[in-house]
Structure 1
């Protein structure tokens, strides 16, 4: 692949705009030697733009600590999760897409990838990657929620099949940690509603073996091969 096409695909601009970067001598190798638009790509890790390494190549997987109030969309009104990423990330080809969604009022771990096969591997029901949520509730827990959620018989309104068993850990009278192995629409909120309660705040802290750890709210981090291995190291079916 030519350097011009590769850099444009990373979202740094249209081909015409990237061509101008080459004319200005902004694209160099790691030793400072000027590169040209029709050069072959070679090792992308050695390419520099204005002295800085290029963004991660296609196959990118990143994690974002999503704050409440942001929508997982490219088009909706209001604040969008893409505003928390470098602007050029919205222009990458292939498209950088959220892996599943968190609703606007839910905070926590959100994954993005431009690798379609990886995206489907993560969300596949076969993977059964555990997703861990912390919920703050409007009323005290009754005490029977753990058994109800673990039963495998709970049927949500308008659903045709019962939920898979889920694990509930009581953290405080109105706080709970819930571990799911599927991802239905607004599932946590609907589960507590079915138990006669209301979720006031919701945070996702883990997917599979991957946790937010110390990533500050609103920040993102690209994930290397070791992090991807941790993602699937806990919960993927054989």
Structure 2
């Protein structure tokens, strides 16, 4: 069984346990120093961060090959129109290439906690909340995506990674669960997995006999 810590990372906290500059880190909130983050969340972003003591689970959560869905609640400046939403859905060009298609929809303001540093909003410009689901993990990807369609991100909260979600966790709170990691060498029913192509049994060669009872010479 692998240990998994489900943590609600507060705003302005680094996703590491030490910082030589004296900035706030995970050490203030996570007492178990045998776990490490499975992925990252920017210092100015909030919400779900997963930590584990198991390398295989960390790889399953973070490796792009697994395309694990990540759900973000994003407050953006302005009100994106249908064209901007369509661009986010099909993928936008960033300086490190085109993003994968995303699931994007407008949502009502989610019931969130007050942020320690209030969002800077301009009174003459409205804001809109979006739910954005991506299967990548590029550096500051969601912020760059919304900026690419001219709607800068004001607040970003990660709500879900795969099957794990924040639920009722408040900023700075965590819960620890156990995750069963199946043996990669076995199938779901416990049988040894054979990755080779199946081979058919060799057909027995029929014995040929001569009318006089002797086998013909080949």
Q: CA deviation at 1:110?
A: 0.2
Cα distance in 1, alignment partners of residues 85 and 154 from structure 2: 19
Query: Structure 1 runs of 4+ off > 3 angstroms?
Result: none
Q: CA deviation at 1:132?
A: 0.3
Cα distance in 2, alignment partners of residues 67 and 74 from structure 1: 14
Point out the structure with max Rg over C-alpha.
2
Residue 104 of structure 2, aligned match among 152, 168, 173: 168
Q: CA deviation at 1:142?
A: 2.7
Instruction: Tell me: CA distance 1:225–1:59, structure 2 relative to 1, closer, same or farther (3 Å).
Output: closer
Asked if 1:108 corresponds to 2:47, the answer is yes
Cα distance in 1, alignment partners of residues 84 and 54 from structure 2: 38
Asked if 1:225 corresponds to 2:179, the answer is yes
Q: When the two structures are aligned, how many residues end up with a matched partner? A: 162
Asked if 1:59 corresponds to 2:2, the answer is yes
Structure 2 gap segments, 5+ residues each: 109-126, 183-218
Paired residue secondary structure (2:64): coil
Query: How much is the aligned-residue C-alpha RMSD, in angstroms?
Result: 1.9
Cα distance in 1, alignment partners of residues 178 and 55 from structure 2: 17
Residue 186 of structure 1, aligned match among 132, 140, 156: 140
Select the structure with the greater relative contact order (CA < 8 A; seq sep ≥ 6): 2
Cα distance in 1, alignment partners of residues 78 and 14 from structure 2: 27
Cα distance in 1, alignment partners of residues 72 and 28 from structure 2: 24
Q: CA deviation at 1:197?
A: 1.4
Task: Map residues 80-229 of structure 1 onto 2, 5 A cutoff.
Answer: 80-86=25-31, 89-90=32-33, 92=34, 96-152=35-91, 154-157=92-95, 159=96, 161-172=97-108, 174-225=128-179
> Residues 39 and 61 of structure 2 are in contact (CA less than 8 Å); yes or no, is this contact kept in structure 1?
no
Task: Give the TM-score of the pair, scaled to structure 1.
Answer: 0.64
> Residues 6 and 50 of structure 2 are in contact (CA less than 8 Å); yes or no, is this contact kept in structure 1?
yes
Cα distance in 1, alignment partners of residues 83 and 71 from structure 2: 20
Q: CA deviation at 1:144?
A: 1.7
Paired residue secondary structure (2:49): strand
